[in-house]
Structure 1
Amino acid sequence: MFSSRTETERRALGSRNSSLFKRMLPRTLFGRSVLILVTPLILVQAVATWVFYDRLWDTVVRRLASGAAGDIALTIDARSLNPSGDTQLFELAHGSTEFSFQLVPGAQLPDRPPEPTGSLIERHLGNALAERVGRPFQIDERAQATQHIIDIAIQLPEGVLDVAVPRSRVLIGAPYIFILWMIGTALVTFALATRFLRNQVRSLRRLASAAEAFGKGRDVPHFKPEGATEVRQAAAAFLVMRERLQRQISQRTEMLAGVSHDLRTPLTRMKLELELLGDVEEVEGLRGDVAEMQQMIEGYLAFARGEGNEQPAIVDLMEFMGEAVATARRDGTEISLIGPQELHVPIRRDAFRRCVMNLIGNASRYGGHVWVTVMPTSSTVEMMIDDDGPGIPEALREAVFRPFYRLESSRNQETGGIGLGLTIARDIMLSHGGELKLETSPQSGLRARLVLPR
């Protein structure tokens, strides 16, 4: 039990860590591409800097310090052979080593040496002096920093020997130049790569925008494949898909136009023949059947036809909804409209009117009052159509979108239509790139929520 619980906790912790890592990663392709580019650049710079400092520069400075300490030790040893010739010896040593020597007779090194800086030069030079000279000494790297001099004081029996060592003798050129070259080269490379990546991602964004626009039912006439080979292949596949869908819609519309003509012609003849028969009691039932058949055919054709070849246009949604509400009021519906004064969105006017009127008609059929609310957001427009009717059980709210599905089991159109109103409404919303959902209304009835992209 304990081990199982521990394993579960480990998995939960691993899942949380993985989720946190995913949230930290960039979400866009451009951001992830830049991350893939920057990570090895930073790693290479870090490794190169570490190798330079810890290996090359450290080794060179150590050897230069050892050479400088050897020159000082040689000068001290040469002085012990001829103590009276210090001046001449120091001049000769200065000419050969560039070191400045000065003996302070009777001087003693202070008991408290200067606080060490801990620099790489002081550390290696101190080790070399301890090994080569073997006498008490003090190093003050900051004494004459403005003259680029390192001051070394060595205790001799006769006094203190001050040695001024040029920093150039124990240090190669400024290491910062090397680092600046690396960083500068990396920045130039990063800038060029970022520009190239931006151009590559731009073609993907255009493809995504074209696909999104086509999904919302908008035409994309000027789109053409561009970018890398894979992106061009995806764009070409999108163009082929668009042509097939447009051809299919066109063929379906043309076929339905013919079917509509073929079905309406015999129905018109039947209506004329029934009118010629006069007001006979048996004829009234036939007239009702013919009217019901015509209404069913119109519903089937409206469902299959969809929005046809209508092109989207920018309209004032509030003015559009005001017209729909006015039409519903003329039909006797008690309806209220709430929303901003002005709101422009791209829609197919006729198709969207059919969608809205179907939903308002359903709400007025089952409720006594209808509330229409329009709420714009940054990227969408939400419209709520509420009623105070009996509503629809939550378990059946998805089923009512199926074609010809009716909550009322009879085929009487007076009690529920032919079961295509909600199907047509959702089909129109999907063709606009939006969605239609059914919810429980605050007015105790049903709420139809339409989400339309702006």
Structure 2
Amino acid sequence: MIRSADTLFARLFGGALVAILLAHVLAFMWFMHYGPPPPPPLMPDAFGQPPPGFDASHPPMQRPPGRPPLFGGPVVPLIFQLITLVAAAWYGAKALSRPIQRMSEAAERLSENLDSQPLEVSGPREARQAAQTFNLMQQRIREQVQQRGRMLAAMSHDLRTPLSRLKLRLEQIDEPKLHGQMSQDLDDMIGMLDATLTYLHEQRNSEALQLFDVQALVESLTENAQDQGDDVHSSGQCKPFMAQPMALRSCLGNLIDNALRYAGHAHVDIQDHPQRVQLRISDQGPGIAAVLREAVFEPFYRVEGSRNRNSGGIGMGMTIAREAARRMGGDLHLEETLGGGLTVVLDLPRL
């Protein structure tokens, strides 16, 4: 019975009622303690006679000596009422804002990780109902994402077998032009399937944050690329910060590969700030038009023209890189390189 009556309305109404009653009780005690103010003294007339209605046997009431009021008039009772009503308003505002704040924090955690802890079911009835609904929504979203991932992974895996058979049969075609076109199409399809599996695998894995030296990672990727004959350079310094090592390696690897694929070179600049770390991967290639810079983050999207299928891209590199950045609480956006080209800005917070 008590649990069912524990609603937000009951809490607010009860708090306001207690505040009003307390204010009146304090005002009543004040008046009882100090008594009413004394009446003005009765002055005799011009002949020295007492005024009409004056009864010498019942003199007017006087305030007890030694107990003067702190303030004259109704100031003190009004102060009592003001304090209690302000306290009631503060309690009401806290009672209203606390469940909303808890849901906002839970929604923020959910946006970063679907496997985050469910919202605690506590508080008044409305807050408990909202928490239960929120947790049910989180569970359904998680189930739908897992089901989608399983379905796409199964489809991608099952499609590899007929595609591999088609590629073997393709070798029996003698016409060079037809052989080249079909081989290119099959390679694109296999590449898209591999990229899809990689994307789904990274989405399912929730890597823990740990103190990581991103400067060492950049220098290692740069040296490996130079050993393979690629034109990759780096600059800048950075202190270690909390990050997901595998996600960051995948993100930077995709960004450097994109720059090499479309421009033939890449430069990684590390900028360390008190609250954030920025990694700028720039090139002097053909660049991307401003109206298309958000579209390239869509899965399998490829810009027509200079950045096309002949460059060997599948259209998942930027998608995987942005997903990895956002899992670490950062983001990824594109800018134009000074003098022409494309600069990818990886912005990560210092957690």
How would you bin the TM-score normalised by the shorter chain? 0.5 to 0.7
Partner of 2:208: 313
5+ long unaligned stretches in structure 1: 1-32, 80-92, 99-166
1:384 aligns with 2:246: no
**Cα distance between partner residues in 1 of 2:297 and 2:331:** 12
Pairing partner for 1:336 from 227, 234, 246: 234
Contact 2:252 2:321 in 1 (8 A): yes
Structure 1 residues 174 and 412: CA distance shift in structure 2, 3 A: closer
Superposed CA deviations along residues 34-59 of structure 1, whole A, max 9, x for unmatched, are xxx9xx99xx99xx9xxx9xxxx8xx
Partner of 1:77: 48
Residue type of the partner of 1:77? G
Normalised TM-score (structure 2): 0.68
- Name the structure, 1 or 2, with higher relative contact order (CA <8 Å, separation 6+): 2
Residue type of the partner of 1:340? C
Contact 1:382 1:451 in 2 (8 A): yes
Post-superposition shift, 1:448?
1.6
Post-superposition shift, 1:352?
4.3
Pairing partner for 1:407 from 264, 286, 303: 303
Partner of 2:9: none
Structure 1 residues 169 and 337: CA distance shift in structure 2, 3 A: same
Where in structure 2 are the equivalents of 1:135-174 lying within 5 Å?
A: 173-174=68-69
Residue type of the partner of 2:69? A
**Cα distance between partner residues in 1 of 2:96 and 2:308:** 59
Post-superposition shift, 1:268?
3.8
Where in structure 2 are the equivalents of 1:320-399 lying within 5 Å?
A: 320-331=217-228, 332-345=230-243, 347=244, 349-367=245-263, 368-378=265-275, 380-399=276-295
**Cα distance between partner residues in 2 of 1:352 and 1:202:** 36
1:206 aligns with 2:102: yes
Local SS of the residue matching 2:315? coil
Which stretch of the first structure deviates more once superposed, 369-378 or 244-253? Answer: 369-378
Pairing partner for 2:160 from 264, 282, 302: 264
Local SS of the residue matching 2:156? helix
Which structure dedicates a bigger proportion of its chain to helix? Answer: 1
5+ long unaligned stretches in structure 2: 1-11, 51-55
Local SS of the residue matching 2:206? coil
**Cα distance between partner residues in 2 of 1:245 and 1:330:** 45
Which structure dedicates a bigger proportion of its chain to strand? Answer: 1
RMSD: 4.5
Local SS of the residue matching 1:383? strand
Residue type of the partner of 2:136? V
Post-superposition shift, 1:395?
2.9
Superposed CA deviations along residues 37-83 of structure 1, whole A, max 9, x for unmatched, are 9xx99xx99xx9xxx9xxxx8xx66xx22xx141xx3597159xxxx
Pairing partner for 2:129 from 226, 229, 233: 233
Where in structure 2 are the equivalents of 1:42-121 lying within 5 Å?
A: 64-65=39-40, 68-70=41-43, 73=44, 77=48
Post-superposition shift, 1:281?
8.9
Normalised TM-score (structure 1): 0.55
- Based on CA coordinates, which of the two structures has the bigger radius of gyration? 1
Local SS of the residue matching 1:77? coil
Local SS of the residue matching 1:176? coil
Structure 1 residues 214 and 337: CA distance shift in structure 2, 3 A: farther
Structure 1 residues 396 and 271: CA distance shift in structure 2, 3 A: closer
**Cα distance between partner residues in 2 of 1:307 and 1:395:** 28
Post-superposition shift, 1:306?
6.4
**Cα distance between partner residues in 1 of 2:109 and 2:83:** 37
